[in-house]
Structure 1
């Protein structure tokens, strides 16, 4: 479930906390609603979110969660009403457009679903799930070339969409296309990289059929991306597959053992250290309140030629936030920076913690 609930902090003086934080009651209700969603008590969650909206009818986060809850209760009209209210407040809200597309999808209104998801992508071109959904709708409308193009874009943003696609019945219309077969090859290659070296293991981890797996392995061998060896298993010999050394060195590998997985990812360590250094520089510029210099430092996180690709791959939410901050500061200048300075610093503090944790997991 989105936004997993966290334990509420212990409060010793509720009255004082409510005075200090005027949103205390609303925040408490919201966390309660998230807990209920996580426990699949959706009717109760709806009641809580509706309570919040009586306090603040323009709370878009609550409206999105209300719509999501009603959607899973099959109240499609109620879900659409909630999403439309979000769009009345913020017409460029990509999440609302994407969720609205899913309602139309469930009602088999694929043309309307496509219109909605295209608006989500217009608002946020890096929204990988919206690109994925667009590919599904196009496939169902038998727009095969455009479906493959959108699917490839979603995979460029998040490679996990490749694995999702090979199991998705919405792509029945495109499975025989060479473009889709190349996506299957990507999934098989990733499975080998993660340490699954036999046909059986690849089928088990990817849910791709044995025939498709064997066809993908044949193509990867022809392209010189993998090598085949024989391994004795009892009285029998079975084929095993590995990345060619050059590719393994480039993308890194994971080797499975009884103790878990060990990683060899030198390029990832280097990239994460670059992100960490960029964060330090950015925090210093924020303290200086130099808006012109700050928007330039934001570019290092956004530009695909710099850290943009890594940010999209590993820190997509933070990437979106930084892009939005750049737009806001460009529009509103130093006044906006001063008013939101603590919030912006907190964003980069949290990003720094996440980067440090990732580095620690890789190194140790």
Structure 2
């Protein structure tokens, strides 16, 4: 796996993918290898391949928050209900997952569920105050980071 990570750092995604596939021939239940194949496919714009790899990681570990989050991003524009389900599962696995709260807030805002959106944006900013700038302007005053946010 270390070899694949080095290959990714050197922008050799094809080599990294080959290494992850070799890992999977030895250990087909390696959720990290499946997840990383999904990341590589997502970076290459191969959404179907990415979803398939994330699904394999999630078959192994249904609470794998990173795979849940990344797959949710793939579904966000196509099937926001599916994205909401995946984000809620990611948050259940990692309650302070700031970016998952942020993405869920965006979906709720698009659906005019302002109260739910505000709650999610508040949770995101409480977990990571640097995300405040990514909150839509109409919600920013309501979710301003406090001095006690961390």
- TM-score interval, normalised by the smaller of the two chains: 0.7 to 0.9
For the Cα contact (< 8 Å) 1:203–1:213, is it kept in 2?
Answer: no
From 149, 173, 178, the counterpart of 2:85: 149
2:139 pairs with 1:212:
yes
- 2:117 and 2:43 mapped to 1: Cα distance? 26
Deviation at 1:96, TM superposition (A): 0.5
- 1:125 and 1:93 mapped to 2: Cα distance? 13
Which residue is 2:99 aligned to?
Answer: 164
- 2:112 and 2:121 mapped to 1: Cα distance? 14
Which residue is 1:96 aligned to?
Answer: 33
**CA RMSD between the two structures:** 3.4
User: Going by fraction, where is strand more abundant, 1 or 2?
Assistant: 1
| TM-score normalised over the length of structure 2 | 0.78
Alpha-carbon distance change, 173 to 179 in structure 1, aligned in 2, over 3 angstroms: closer
- 2:7 and 2:115 mapped to 1: Cα distance? 37
Deviation at 1:90, TM superposition (A): 0.8
Superposition map of 1:1-364 within 5 A: 64-140=1-77, 142-161=78-97, 163-165=98-100, 176-177=110-111, 182=116, 184-189=118-123, 191=125, 206-207=132-133, 208-214=135-141, 256=148
Q: Which has the larger radius of gyration?
A: 1
In structure 2, the gaps of 5 or more residues are none
| TM-score normalised over the length of structure 1 | 0.35
SS in 1 for 2:76: helix
Count, aligned residues: 147
For the Cα contact (< 8 Å) 1:70–1:76, is it kept in 2?
Answer: yes
Alpha-carbon distance change, 175 to 67 in structure 1, aligned in 2, over 3 angstroms: farther
- 1:160 and 1:133 mapped to 2: Cα distance? 16
- 1:156 and 1:180 mapped to 2: Cα distance? 21
